[in-house]
């Protein structure tokens, strides 16, 4: 396919043929080689700009935007989409504007700019409905996808009832068109939404509907994800047996389809389940697998990030080169040739310096990321060890306490002092060791926290440190020897002090950004 298209590209005489061939080549490489895909899209845009074919210019900008969005260059993708939008509006090309506006909405959604995302999704939905009212159903299949997108915006902005209403509209529309793929997604979304609303019965029903739908079309990747969500559901209600069955299914299927991110999340869930039921060996095996997959995905993400930085650098270089060319034209008109030559020499030196600086920055960032990742692993492992050690000490203390009634009275006070010493030493050791290692990894966390919220007590700061590591109330309870309800109450008071009351902001997410 690539060879035949390459031959067509070389032999093509018309610009339109060359542009469309370059689009096809860009599409082919979008899944395997983003750098080549971007190169073909850029070549198509360069040819289109040299013509008066406005529709080809618009679609070439759209193609560039699609590849840039895939790479992660969201700002540049948005720029190309908006140029395309302007041309299509001038040509009154309503049909193509529908798909384009949805893409623009997707970029804003990825950037968490939910207000703009909602505006574009709503505008696109209105245009689709107008076309349907006029008898044109060319974009009818966009409607249920738009309902799902609008529902997701309301979900993330905390407007759960509105989210539910749009998901329900999307389900009705998808059922009419028998689009089981999007139907499986929306059933899954509704299950997660009902779970957050505390309606476990409907949450389970829709998660099962999602699973059945995805099985029906052999959507293995989606099936694995739904198994994972079902496992999380049963884990949340302490039905560990069912949680274990579902997560094992999720792992098996995600391995079959090669979905590493689902495998990673599933092994983490498997670790939590086995830890809860006391199967230490299997919990450790699951944690090792989770860490290995996490590292693999981290490396993959790092490669993609390096590619994004390289692309960003190339675009900035091109923009600088274009600026230099424009300056050079102006200098030719107003200054002598010698001044122009000097300017080019300076530009070259700046380019080399910028290139070297960019390379250093990339290498420094890579080293910092590796160091932070290693320290976080050590900290997590150490915290788990300290929790286990502390629980063992308190278990021994409890047993000694039970022996008090079976020993001689003259030995009771000595035994009581031993118990007190064990408990006091455990508490002190755990917290001091934890705090020392935590400050080694997160150097400025305490400083920034105290500067931003000076009214926090030492107990509040200690709780913030635990939450910063994404520890559960149960884990915190194990370290502090408070019951879980006391920890939950402390978390509620902390949210109030951090001005998070009546918001959907997660404490871990909030503290991670400090």
What is the tens place of the pLDDT at every residue in 183-234? 999 999 999 999 999 999 999 999 999 999 999 999 999 999 999 999 999 9
Which residue has tokens 């560039």? Answer: 64
For residue 61, what pLDDT is reported? Answer: 94
Integer Cα distance of 311 and 318 in angstroms: 10
Torsion sign (Cα): 442, 443, 444, 450: positive
Asked whether residue 142 carries a pLDDT value surpassing 80, the answer given is no
Write the class of the CATH domain 1-92.
Answer: mainly alpha
Q: From 188, 193, 176, 261, select the one nearest 219 (Cα to Cα).
A: 188
**297-303, Cβ contacts within 8 angstroms, sequence gap of 24 or more:** 297/260, 297/261, 297/264, 298/373, 300/260, 302/366, 302/369
Asked whether residue 155 carries a pLDDT value surpassing 90, the answer given is yes
DSSP string spanning 234-277?
HHHTT-HHHHHHHHHHHHHHHHHHT-HHHHHHHHHHHHHHHHHH
| Residue 298: strand, helix, or coil | helix
For residue 298, what pLDDT is reported? Answer: 65
What is the tens place of the pLDDT at every residue in 47-74? 999 998 999 999 999 999 999 888 878 8
Asked whether residue 341 carries a pLDDT value surpassing 80, the answer given is no
Could you tell me if 438 and 379 are in contact, meaning their C-beta atoms sit under 8 angstroms apart? yes
Asked whether residue 302 carries a pLDDT value surpassing 60, the answer given is no
pLDDT band at 503 (very low <50, low <70, confident <90, very high): confident
What is the tens place of the pLDDT at every residue in 404-461? 777 777 777 777 777 777 766 555 556 676 777 777 777 788 888 989 999 999 889 8
- What is this structure's pTM? 0.54
And the tokens for 460? 């509040």
- In the chain, % of residues over pLDDT 90: 42
Integer Cα distance of 275 and 247 in angstroms: 14
| Domain boundaries defined on the chain | 1-92
Lowest mean pLDDT of 230-239, 277-286, 325-334, 336-345, name the range: 325-334
């Amino acid at each position: 396919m690539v060879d035949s298209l390459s031959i067509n590209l070389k032999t093509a005489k018309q610009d339109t043929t060359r542009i469309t061939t370059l689009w096809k080549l860009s599409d082919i490489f979008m899944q395997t080689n983003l750098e080549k895909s971007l190169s073909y899209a850029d070549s198509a845009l360069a040819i289109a700009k040299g013509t008066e074919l406005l529709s080809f210019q618009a679609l070439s900008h759209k193609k560039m935007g699609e590849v840039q969005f895939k790479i992660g260059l969201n700002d540049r993708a948005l720029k190309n989409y908006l140029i395309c939008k302007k041309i299509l509006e001038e040509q009154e090309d309503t049909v193509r504007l529908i798909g384009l506006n949805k893409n623009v909405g997707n970029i804003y959604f990825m950037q968490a700019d939910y207000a703009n995302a909602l505006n574009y999704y709503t505008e696109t939905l209105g245009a689709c409905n107008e076309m349907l009212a006029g008898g044109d159903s060319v974009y009818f299949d966009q409607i249920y996808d738009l309902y799902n997108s609008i529902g997701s915006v309301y979900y993330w902005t905390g407007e759960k009832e509105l989210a539910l209403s749009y998901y329900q509209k999307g389900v009705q529309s998808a059922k009419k068109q028998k689009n089981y793929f999007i139907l499986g997604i929306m059933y899954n979304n509704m299950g997660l939404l009902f779970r957050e609303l505390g309606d476990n019965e409907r949450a389970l029903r829709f998660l099962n509907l999602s699973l059945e739908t995805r099985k029906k079309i052999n959507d293995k990747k989606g099936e694995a994800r739904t198994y994972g969500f079902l496992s999380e559901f049963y884990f949340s209600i302490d039905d560990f047996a069912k949680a274990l069955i579902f997560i094992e299914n999720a792992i098996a299927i995600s391995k079959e389809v090669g979905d590493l991110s689902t495998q990673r999340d599933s092994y983490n869930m498997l670790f939590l389940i086995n830890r809860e039921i006391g199967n230490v060996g299997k919990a450790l095996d699951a944690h090792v697998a989770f860490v290995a997959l996490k590292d693999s995905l981290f490396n993959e993400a790092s490669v993609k990030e390096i590619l994004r930085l390289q692309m960003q650098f190339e675009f900035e270089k091109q923009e600088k080169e274009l600026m230099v060319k424009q300056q050079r034209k102006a200098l030719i008109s107003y200054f002598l040739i010698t001044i122009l030559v000097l300017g080019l020499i300076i530009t070259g030196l700046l380019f080399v310096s910028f290139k070297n600086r960019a390379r250093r920055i990339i290498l420094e960032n890579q080293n910092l990321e590796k160091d932070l990742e290693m320290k976080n692993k050590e900290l997590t492992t150490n915290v788990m060890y300290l929790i286990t050690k502390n629980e063992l000490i308190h278990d021994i203390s409890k047993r000694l306490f039970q022996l008090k009634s079976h020993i001689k009275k003259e030995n009771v006070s000595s035994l009581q002092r031993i118990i007190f010493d064990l408990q006091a030493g455990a508490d002190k050791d755990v917290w001091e060791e934890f705090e020392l290692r935590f400050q080694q990894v997160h150097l400025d966390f305490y400083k920034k926290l105290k500067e931003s919220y000076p009214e926090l007590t030492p107990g509040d700061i200690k709780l913030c440190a635990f939450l910063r590591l994404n520890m559960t109330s149960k884990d915190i309870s194990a370290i502090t020897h408070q019951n879980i309800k006391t920890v939950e109450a402390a978390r509620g008071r902390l949210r109030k002090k951090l001005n998070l009351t009546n918001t959907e902001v997660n404490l871990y997410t909030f503290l991670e950004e400090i």
